Structure 1
Amino acid sequence: MDESSLPVPATYDSCGHVQGPFFHGTRAALVAGVQLVPGHGSNFQEGRVSNHVYFTALVDTAAWGAELAAALAGDGEPGRIYVVEPLGPFEDDPNVTDKRFPGNPTRSYRTRHPLRVVSELDSWQGHDPEALQGMLDHLALLRAEGRDVIED
């Protein structure tokens, strides 16, 4: 593989090459114009306050975020996906990029700056129940083994 075909990492100093649209999957009901900011509870680890806001350029990746957040909350509320606009620089999400998916094929990012909610994405396809349960089981296993570490 020649170097010109390697993915260019997104860093706080160099993220302008990353094109949207961008999406945020969550269980929260939000309205256009709201800004998502760091410092709120994590959808994925009870009692954890996130230092970043996470987003993606792929609807499928946002669907995982929305579905997992809703399932882990256990309150029967649906997951939601929002079109968002980063209001500052961002970087590749090291929780997936470096550890699980080199080159960032999930197009997952994080920022310490606000994301502005542009609109809710009304039509998106969730994963089949077996795939979702498989992901939940895997997360439970990681948690039980103490390997559910989030680099935040």
Structure 2
Amino acid sequence: MTDIRFYHLERQSLDDVLPKMLQTSLERGWRCVVQAGSEERVEHLAAHLWTFSDESFLPHGSKADGSAVLQPIWLTTDAGNPNGASVRFLVDGARAESVEGLERAVFIFDGNDEAVVKQAREDWRRFKAGQHEISYWQQDEGGRWINRATA
């Protein structure tokens, strides 16, 4: 069964949070797919993952680069899994019809966008009805992620 996590952004931006989550995933030996809501966001993330830190970068690619099977992190707008990822990150309102075959699905949504919050609630209900293990994470005042709900 897929572990599904919802991360509610209120104190930090996606650009701050996503690289850290991807880095942790790679350290655990997981391959990742990041599914974004638009090609513009894919291009932005592709550039950002090279420059988010002076000390490191995250190896990644997108259809602009090709060779998905060689990429530990694949950036896309579609639901495919061309690099054999075990973790899918869904950002910018991207939707997942299915999470089958994944170890983890991570929905990261902007708490300042009411439409995206509504969509996250709908996704929560849909996956809960599918008997998945689901958790909701929110940052505390110090920036640590706290599990606020489990279903």
Normalising by structure 2, report the TM-score: 0.29
Q: If you compute each CA radius of gyration, which structure gives the higher value, 1 or 2?
A: 1
Q: Which has the higher strand share?
A: 2
Q: Greater RCO between the two (CA within 8 Å, min separation 6)?
A: 2
TM-score by length of 1: 0.29
More helix by share: 2
